[in-house]
Amino acid sequence: VKILVLNAGSSSIKFELFDMPAETIEVRGLMQRIGEKESHLGWKVGAEAKSIARHVPDHAAGLRLILDELGVGKGSVEIGAVGHRVVHGGEAFAETVLITPEVEQAIDKHAALAPLHNPPNLLGIRVARELLPGVPQVGVFDTAFHQTVPAHAYLYPLPYDLYTELGVRRYGFHGTSHKYVSERAAEMLGRPLAKTNVITCHLGNGASVTAVEGGKSVDTSMGLTPLEGLAMGTRSGDIDPAILPFLERVRGMKLADIDTMLNKKSGLLGLSGLSNDMRALLAAEAEGNARAKVALDVYAYRVKKYVGAYAAALGEVHAVVFTAGVGENSAPIRERILTGLAPLGIEIDRAKNAATIGVEADVATPASRTRVLVVPTREELAIARDTYRVAKPA
């Protein structure tokens, strides 16, 4: 059965076609710059790369072009189900669901919490339903895995009616990734998931840390929105909220501009003034750039603080797990984060760590009580598996 995984953004559609249950990837690709003068579709069939550059006016035209190129229009490929990545499910979705009109309404309702993400996700669902009538559509939510976080960890110490009336609480994101790598970690450790505690560090351009107890998320660093927590590529992560009124007072800044600053001009980019890209900053630091160094110091220190906090939250930790672009590929950043944690029982093996790029490995020293694992994330595969399980296509 062919499962199509879609991740629709504001001007992009990321897609991957799986053959299930074999889990083979048949096609993967990305359409970008939808609505602009020249849109771009790039995709790979096995090792063969293809691309098209032409104006694509909207998501419907974009998905139609993708389906044509996949051979769905000509009838040579039949899609059994479509799995959609949806960013915000609020408290309505603790697991993957078959999309019904009620589910669409709920995704629409949560758009206030994720104004940049949920509307394009919903558009992707509607367009797919229109172009593939009768094919089951499944929603996989970035927030779902974190619905097990207890109240003491998800409530903000704010007036309680902000929670009851407006849903202001911690939701957390990257759930599909944290779930996948925590399950994989238990397998690698040879332990039953229900008896395995891990701290998962999803370090990409967006980044978050999760405390996973017996397979369940019990705390996570992102909050109501993906802005909270770690210092990221362009997001500030945790800051003193009083900085906002301070900037209004002394600089006359408007909240909308502060919001843009915190989301797009802060983090690694803001501190370094150079780039949000880890590779560029490591290279600049090696050439003696002091701002690049301080940006990386802040970045690594903040991950370390969360590892310490979640070690306290969990008590016993069987592994610290690194994933996503930085976590999978950057040995120097992993080393920087975990250096000095031997008293907590976390000891990284420098040589093993340095030799591990983009593959699964245990990079802790033999003596380390807590293992240190690198696990490349497979969010699309996780969505395809859930879609196959929930839609049960013939």
Residues that bind ligand AMP (CB under 6 A): 204-205, 233, 277-279, 324-326, 329-330
The nearest distance, CB 10 to ligand AMP, in angstroms, is: 17
The nearest distance, CB 33 to ligand AMP, in angstroms, is: 19
CA 373 to chain CA centroid, Å, is 18
CA 31 to chain CA centroid, Å, is 19
CB of 334 closer than 8 Å to CB of 374: yes
What is the H or E stretch that residue 32 is in?
strand 24-32
- Given the complex with ligand AMP, which of 83 and 233 has the nearer CB atom? 233
The nearest distance, CB 178 to ligand AMP, in angstroms, is: 13
- Given the complex with ligand AMP, which of 65 and 268 has the nearer CB atom? 268
- Given the complex with ligand AMP, which of 107 and 295 has the nearer CB atom? 295
Cis peptide before 21 (omega within 30 of 0): yes
- Given the complex with ligand AMP, which of 80 and 226 has the nearer CB atom? 226
Decide if 277 is catalytic.
no
Sheet holding 137-141, edge to edge: 48-54, 39-45, 24-32, 13-19, 2-8, 79-86, 137-141, 97-98
Buried b (16+ CB within 10 A) or exposed e, 52-64: eeeebeebbbbbb
> Which of 45, 44, 69 has the alpha carbon at shortest distance from 56?
69
- Given the complex with ligand AMP, which of 246 and 301 has the nearer CB atom? 301
| Token digits of residue 295 | 């940006």
Phi-psi region of 23 (alpha: psi -120 to 50; beta: other; left: phi over 0): left
Calpha distance 244→262 (Å, rounded): 10
Q: Three-class SS of residue 88?
A: coil
Q: Three-class SS of residue 252?
A: coil
- Given the complex with ligand AMP, which of 143 and 377 has the nearer CB atom? 377
The nearest distance, CB 278 to ligand AMP, in angstroms, is: 4
Instruction: Please give the residue whose beta carbon sits closest to ligand AMP in the complex.
Output: 325
| Token digits of residue 346 | 């976390």
Calpha distance 74→82 (Å, rounded): 18
CB of 62 closer than 8 Å to CB of 52: no
Calpha distance 111→253 (Å, rounded): 26
The nearest distance, CB 1 to ligand AMP, in angstroms, is: 28
Q: Tokens 């394009």 belong to which residue?
A: 120
The nearest distance, CB 325 to ligand AMP, in angstroms, is: 2
Which among 19, 58, 68, 142 is annotated as catalytic?
142
Active site residues: 142
